[in-house]
Amino acid sequence: MENLVDSPKGKLIDDKFYFPARVYYEDTDAGGVVYYANYLKFAERARTEFIRMLGINQHEGLATEDMFGFMVRSLNIEYKAPAILDDLLAISCEVLNVSGARMEVKQEIFCKDKLLVTLTVQLAYVSLNRKRPVRIPDELVKKIENL
């Protein structure tokens, strides 16, 4: 059976990638407001689609003998306003810096024109078997720099 639906896609506008997300009941607390930890899930999905948009198949990195992938090293998040049930969100990804095994990404979550959340995420590119950071492949660095 063929796929009945396409995967959601974001789009690149200037140097930022934007990914859409809808707030569902499961994302909210008893008051219909997005539970604070769920903003991390929205941001993770946007970063995953950003990497996919760059032409990098993360599944292939996991299929190699050494298994490689990005892991969150640190994160700073600032909540400015709440999202509520049924809101349509736009989550941005903007690479601030890439060097060695590290990539710094700024993300913002909007509802319409209102900024709700700002995140700064430090990612480490890691050999998952060795549990050690490794240099980000030149191919990926070039794709990021060409944005």
- Which entry of 6, 27, 29, 87 is annotated as an active-site residue? 29
Q: Any idea which fold 13-145 has? A: Thiol Ester Dehydrase; Chain A (3.10.129)
Return the closest-CA partner of residue 137 out of 71, 69, 59, 74: 69
pLDDT on residue 65: 61
By percentage, how much of the chain surpasses pLDDT 90?
63
pLDDT on residue 95: 95
**pLDDT tens, residue by residue, 128-137:** 888 899 999 8
Tell me how many degrees the CA angle 139-66-123 measures, rounded to the nearest 5. Answer: 55
Q: For the chain, what are the domain ranges?
A: 13-145
Give the integer Cα–Cα distance in Å for 105 and 35: 22
Token reading at 78: 């600032």
- Predicted TM-score of the model (pTM): 0.88
CB atoms within 10 A of CB 138: 8
- To the query of whether residue 29 is one of the catalytic residues in this protein, the response is yes
pLDDT on residue 132: 92
Token reading at 83: 């999202």
